[in-house]
Amino acid sequence: MITLKAFAKINLTLFVGEKRPDGYHEVETIMHRISLHDKIQLTRAPDISLNVMKGNISSDSDNLMWRAAELFLKKMNISGGVHMTLHKEIPTGAGLGGGSADAAAVIYGLHQLYEIPFSLSYWSEQSAVLGADVPFSFLSGAALCTGIGEKIAPLTPALSLPLIIIKPPLSISTIDAYKILDEYNSTERKTIHEKSTDKMIQHINQNIPIPTSYFHNDFEKPLCRLYPELQEIKSYGEKIGIPAQMTGSGAAFFFVCQNKDNQLFLFKKIKKDHPHWFLAQATTI
């Protein structure tokens, strides 16, 4: 049996281009792995099976872990299977890449289980069929991701930034989020795009504090306009003086804290003020 951790990610920047003829959107995003993670156990078996020990998600062939196992077995020409156990800690419908992280962990773990050398370059290309965030999920640290997310340029990581992850009792599918974004005026997005990515990369590479004005997510404004639950988090961040940054296509946000003590103080305060929100302390890794 093999036990693995599947780490979540946050988007420090996320710019979305126009829809392509194949239905996908071009993106330019800086992603960073964080310490919040799911736990996965893999055991050799004659067939594929999945047991979800913690978390309210499907355990059949619709699950991305199942599809990842099928893809691995097909690509590696293996007739066997795997029994998978999932302890879910990363919330779903959050923009934290939990499903993609689980899929990447399954592929990586199956290489160990079947004693086959793992190729990052091979799976960075092949795993994109499972989801745009899957290729990044094989990496640690930070990266600039372009294309539909499958083109990855590693960056110097901004290690140990103390974070608070917040999600309201609301989940947004990626498909729905893109539909909403497509209807939103893109003029402002393009203007900001020209300024933000290079400055963010410069600050990350030089390991200097990142101004909050450099964080950006194209999904944030249109989704906050439509969902009061999201705007409530943005307004709360303004009230306590720490900007709430959306990650992915929502519905989760993150606060970048000053230090560990500040992180713990804010975590307790938010938990008291909004007990219905999902909360987690994390760091960039």
Q: From first to last of its 285 residues, what are the pLDDT tens digits of the chain?
A: 999 999 999 999 999 988 889 888 999 999 999 999 999 999 999 999 999 998 889 999 999 999 999 999 999 999 999 999 999 999 999 999 999 999 999 999 999 999 999 999 999 999 999 999 999 999 999 999 999 988 999 999 988 999 999 999 999 999 999 999 988 865 555 555 556 788 899 888 888 888 888 999 999 999 999 999 999 999 999 999 999 999 999 999 999 999 999 999 999 999 999 999 999 999 999
CA proximity to 6, closest of 55, 51, 58, 65: 65
pLDDT digits (tens, 9 = 90+) for 168-220: 999 999 999 999 998 886 555 555 555 678 889 988 888 888 888 899 999 99
Tokens 């590479």 -> residue: 205
* Domain residue limits, the chain: 2-155, 162-283
User: How many CB atoms are closer than 10 A to CB 115?
Assistant: 6
* Catalytic annotation present for 151: no
What percentage of the chain exceeds 70 in pLDDT? 96
Residue 105 pairs in a beta bridge with none
**Looking at 38, 102, 133, 218, which residue is catalytic?**
133
Which tokens hold the place of 148? Answer: 């539909």
9 is catalytic: yes
How confident is the model at residue 193, as a pLDDT? 59
Start-to-end Cα distance in the chain: 26
Active-site residue identified among 9, 38, 167, 218: 9
* Rounded CA separation 57/55 (Å): 6
| pLDDT at residue 19, rounded to an integer | 86
User: Is residue 101 reached through a cis peptide bond, with omega within 30 degrees of 0 on the bond before it?
Assistant: no
Beta strands 142-146 and 151-155, pairing class = antiparallel
In this structure, what is the dihedral angle of CA atoms 68, 142, 170, 236, given to the nearest 10 degrees? 170
DSSP 209: P
What is the sign, positive or negative, of the torsion defined by CA atoms of 257, 260, 261, 263? positive
What is the per-residue pLDDT across 4-22, written as a single tens digit (0 to 9) for each?
Answer: 999 999 999 999 988 889 8
- CATH number 3.20.20.80 is the correct assignment for the domain at 162-283: no
Please calculate the CA angle 285-272-217 and round it to the nearest 5 degrees: 45
Fold of the domain built from segment(s) 2-155: Ribosomal Protein S5; domain 2 (3.30.230)
What pLDDT does residue 196 have? 79
Are 6 and 108 in contact by the 8 Å Cβ rule? The answer is no
Report the distance separating Cα 193 and Cα 249, nearest Å: 17
Distance, in Å, from the CA atom of 121 to the CA atom of 36, rounded to the nearest integer, reads 25
SS3 content of the chain, % helix, strand, coil (to 5): 40, 30, 35
